[in-house]
Amino acid sequence: MDRLAAFRMGTPSPALRDIIELLKPVTWFPPIWAFMCGVVSSGVAVADRWPFLIAGVLLTGPLVCGTSQAVNDWFDRHVDAINEPKRPIPSGRIAGRWGLWIAIAGAALSLLVASATGPWVLAATCLGLVCAWGYSAPPFRFKASGIWGPAVVALTYEGLTWFTGASVMAGALPATHTLIILALYSFGAHGIMTLNDFKAVEGDRATGLRSLPVLLGVGPAARLACRVMVAPQVVVVALLASWDHWLASGIVAALLIGQAVLMRRLLGDPLARTPWYNATGTTLYVLGMLASAFGLGGVAEL
């Protein structure tokens, strides 16, 4: 038997359904939402930029986000073999080095699509891919840090995707006001990502991951996460008002008050109530993003 035949027998091509499972479509929604916030904040009519809009959705969802999921599963395959053996790579449904090749192919395709949509989108895509690989891959492996891990995810899921949406529509660098607001919401998303770490506190502690719940304890980490989410939104409310986006400012303020009420319940039992808060308080947070985008795009003042 020749080496090529042996390779083919040992590492069969994965099925399409297994590749899709590896790319985790359920994770594409948050970056696509932020991308659409960027589209709205640009104030540009969608009808004028349909091809670029479609390219942007593909970039932020299945391409860059999907690639990040493949990268993460590849470099976590040994841990997943213990904790989540039914995933495509540890289960053998994506065998050999196919997981790595899929991640590399996703990165290459992302760069190809981004290069056709303009220099600013290409720059954002390059940074997003650097973050995606650095988050999971050595020597950086940002996910091991309770500071850098959530920061990288918040930047890529919220800031870079919003930036991409605004750049895709405008065909240029987004307006200064837009850059400020997307930066503030990216900062606040660090708190959301910290809450996401609560579901794996014991596993993180056992494997040496220094998440904030591990370092600070669940209660202090939850309080810090709430403050990190609230502070930038207060600034957003003030800035929108100072720019005469009164309706958008009022909506964000009302949504922030709702979050504060929900946070009081969350802090009573962070471990048990984080999934509930993610379905309620985090929803109000991202609705505030959209309200801000409408204000910046001029729609909320019509």
What's the whole-number mean pLDDT along residues 284-294? 97
Confidence of residue 10 (pLDDT cuts 50, 70, 90): low
Of 5-9, 80-84, 99-103, 169-173, the range with the lowest mean pLDDT is 5-9
Give the whole-angstrom CA distance, residue 169 versus residue 121: 10
Residue 69: name the closest of 35, 31, 22, 108 by CA: 22
Is 302 or 95 the better-scoring residue by pLDDT?
Answer: 95
Give the whole-angstrom CA distance, residue 53 versus residue 55: 5
Instruction: Encode burial over 41-52: b for 16+ CB neighbours within 10 A, e otherwise.
Output: bbbbeeeebeeb
DSSP string spanning 79-119? Answer: HHHHH-TTSTTTTTSS-TTHHHHHHHHHHHHHHHHHHTS-H
pLDDT at 8 over 60: no
The CATH T-level fold of domain 15-173 is Tetracycline Repressor; domain 2 (1.10.357)
Q: Do 42 and 169 touch, CB atoms closer than 8 A?
A: yes
Per-residue confidence (pLDDT) for residue 6, from 0 to 100: 37
Per-residue confidence (pLDDT) for residue 213, from 0 to 100: 82
Rg (CA), the chain: 20
Confidence of residue 151 (pLDDT cuts 50, 70, 90): very high
What's the whole-number mean pLDDT along residues 45-62? 90
**pLDDT for 178-190, tens place per residue?**
999 999 999 999 9
Give the whole-angstrom CA distance, residue 172 versus residue 179: 12
Per-residue confidence (pLDDT) for residue 300, from 0 to 100: 39
Per-residue confidence (pLDDT) for residue 207, from 0 to 100: 64
